[in-house]
Amino acid sequence: MNDQELQSLVEKISQESFAKPFKHRAYFNSRLRTTGGRYHVASHDIDINPKMLTEHSMEILVGVIKHELCHYHLHLAGYSGKHNTLAFKRLLKTVGGSRFAPAPVDKRPLKYVCTHCGQTYRRKRRIDTHKYVCGKCRGKLKLDTGDD
């Protein structure tokens, strides 16, 4: 999916779910790391994390788009588009948007397993398996990809 297809998808979702047109720009922003999307108050544009589509399903992407459109339509109507307002929570529930975006795959904890004793270690960052060994038996560590 490219930016033009995303633009038409956002316009379609806005018309179907909110019964209001989306008159601004929607695009993918690969620099987004910890969020599913972002609404720009000054320009009224919406940018979406492309990992919401590549690492997750189309339903997740639609949920994130609905979330950002809630910010968009509330702000244009003169209301606060903040997450903690009652108007935002009601509108989000009405249209069926997602409250939170799922964590990107690269932000999930890594799991290392000792090849000798089977001890598991969970880490946020990668470790050098040539430098570090198991603290229990001093065996070699292996990154567990979960593909078994």
Positions marked active-site: 68
Name the residue among 147, 146, 108, 110 with its Cα closest to residue 129. 110
Start-to-end CA distance of the chain, whole Å, equals 31
Q: How many residues does the chain have?
A: 148
Alpha-carbon Rg for the chain, nearest whole angstrom, is: 21
**How many Å apart are CA 95 and CA 16, to the nearest integer?**
10
3-state secondary structure 5-46: HHHHHHHHHHHHHHCCCCCCCEEECCCCCCCCEEECCCCCCE
